[in-house]
Amino acid sequence: MPMYQETPDPSLQALESRQDDILKRLYELKAAVDGLSKMIHTPDADIDMTNILPADEPPALSTSALDLNSVLGKDYGALKDIVINANPASPPLSLLVLHRLLCERYRVLSTVHTHSSVKSVPENLLKCFGEQTRKQPRHEFQLGFTLIWKNVPKTQMKFSIQTMCPIEGEGNIARFLFSLFGQKHNAVNLTLIDSWVDIAMFQLKEGSSKEKAAVFRSMNSALGKSPWLVGQELTVADVVLWSVLQQTEGCSTAPANVQRWLRSCENLAPFSTVLALLK
C-alpha cells in the first residue's frame, strides 16, 4: 500500500503564524499596561500633586540597558519603577545624590508626589529633581524613580511595587540604588563599604559625641591613604557618609583629611546640586 505524506495546508500555516504574532503582541501590551498601572496606582500618592521631570539625556553607554536587566530583570516592555517614601522633615540626601548619579548613567523618568499625611513640603524639596523642561513618552526611559514625601518614621523603598516587600532605611536603599551602577569589588572592600554605611547610619547619625569623634578619627585615617573611603573610586560609603554629615551639621568640626574629602564630593555636580537644597 503506497504511503502518502500529507502536505501542510499553507492557509493553516499562515493562520498559526498570525495567531503566534497576536499572542506575542498581546503579551507585550499587557506588560506595558502593567508598567503604566504602577505609575497611576502608586500606593499612598496624591496624583494631582505630581511633577513628572524627565532627566537630561545621559551620555551614551552601550551597557546601560544590559546592566539594568542583569540587576533588576527584564520587564518585557514595562518601565522598571523604583518608588521611595520619605519624610520631608528628614530628607534622605544620599538618595537624592544617587538619583542624580543615576540620571548621568540612564534615562530616568523622575516623579515627585506629596502624600496627604504631609501638610506642607518646602518648595526646594518639591523641586528636588529639578524643573520640568520637556515631556517624553514613558517608553523612552530606562528607569522610573518616584519620590513620595510622606509622614513615615523610616525611609521606605519598593521596586516592582506589586510583589516586593519594602526595603527600609536610607542606608539599605542607598546600597540597592548603588548596585545599579554595576561596580565590582573584592570581598574585603565590600565588607569595608558595608561597614562604613552602618557606621554612618548608627554611629555618626545616632551615636554619642564620643562615637562621632571615633568615626571622624577612622575617616581621617582612611582618607589619609586614599582619595575616597574605600580605595580610588567613589562608593556608596562616600555618598551615605557625606549625606549624614550634612544632616548632622558635623562638617565644620571635621579633621583635615575629611575636610578635603568633603570638598572632593562637593566638586561633583550630584553632590553640589543636592547641597543647594539645604540653603
pLDDT in tens, 56-65: 433 333 334 4
pLDDT at 77 over 60: no
Mean pLDDT of the chain: 79
pLDDT for the residue numbered 31: 55
**What value does the mean pLDDT take over residues 275-279?**
84
Give CB contacts under 8 A, 24+ apart, made by 130-137: 130/53, 130/55, 131/53, 132/51, 132/52, 132/53, 132/54, 133/53, 133/54, 133/56, 134/54, 135/52, 135/54, 136/54
pLDDT at 182 over 80: yes
Least confidently predicted of 68-82, 99-113, 181-195, 236-250? 68-82
> For residues 117 and 81, is the Cβ–Cβ distance under 8 A?
no
Q: pLDDT above 70 covers what percent of the chain?
A: 71
Least confidently predicted of 41-45, 53-57, 67-71, 149-153? 53-57
**What value does the mean pLDDT take over residues 148-167?**
83
pLDDT for the residue numbered 78: 64
Least confidently predicted of 188-192, 214-218, 247-251? 247-251
| Single pTM value for the model | 0.74
How far are the Cα atoms of 77, 177, 192, 205, 244 from residue 270, in angstroms, in the given order?
29, 14, 23, 22, 15
User: Amino acid identity, residue 122?
Assistant: P
